[in-house]
Structure 1
Amino acid sequence: MKRWDEKLTLALRRGSGSDDVTPNTVSEALRNLEETMESIKRRLSQLEKCVERQRVAINEVRTNTSPFDDLLTKTNGDIQSIQQQLEYVVISLERERGIVTDHTEQLRLFVRESTRRDGGRSGLSDSDPSFLFLLATWLYRPVVDFANGCYVLLSPLIGTLQSLSLFNPDVQVRQTESGVYLNNAQPSEDLLSRLQKGQLDPVLTSKT
Structure 2
Amino acid sequence: MTWENSHTTDLAVRCSSALQILQDVLKNRDAISKKDLEEAHGLVIFDVKGIAVGTGFAHGSGLVMARHAKGDWSLPSSVSRTYVGAGPSLGANLYSSARVLNKEAFEKCFIEQRWEYGMNLSAAAGPFGANVDVKGQSLIQHPTRSKGAYFGVTFGGTLFEENKELNAKFYGKEISAREILTGKIQVSEACKNEVRSLWDFLTSLEKQIENEPVQ
Smaller-chain TM-score bracket: under 0.3
Higher Rg of the two aligned structures:
1
Bigger RCO of structures 1 and 2 (CA < 8 A, at least 6 apart): 2
TM-score by length of 1: 0.15
- Of Structure 1 and Structure 2, the greater strand share is in 2
| Structure showing the higher helix proportion among its residues | 1
- Compute the TM-score of the two structures, normalised by the length of structure 2: 0.15
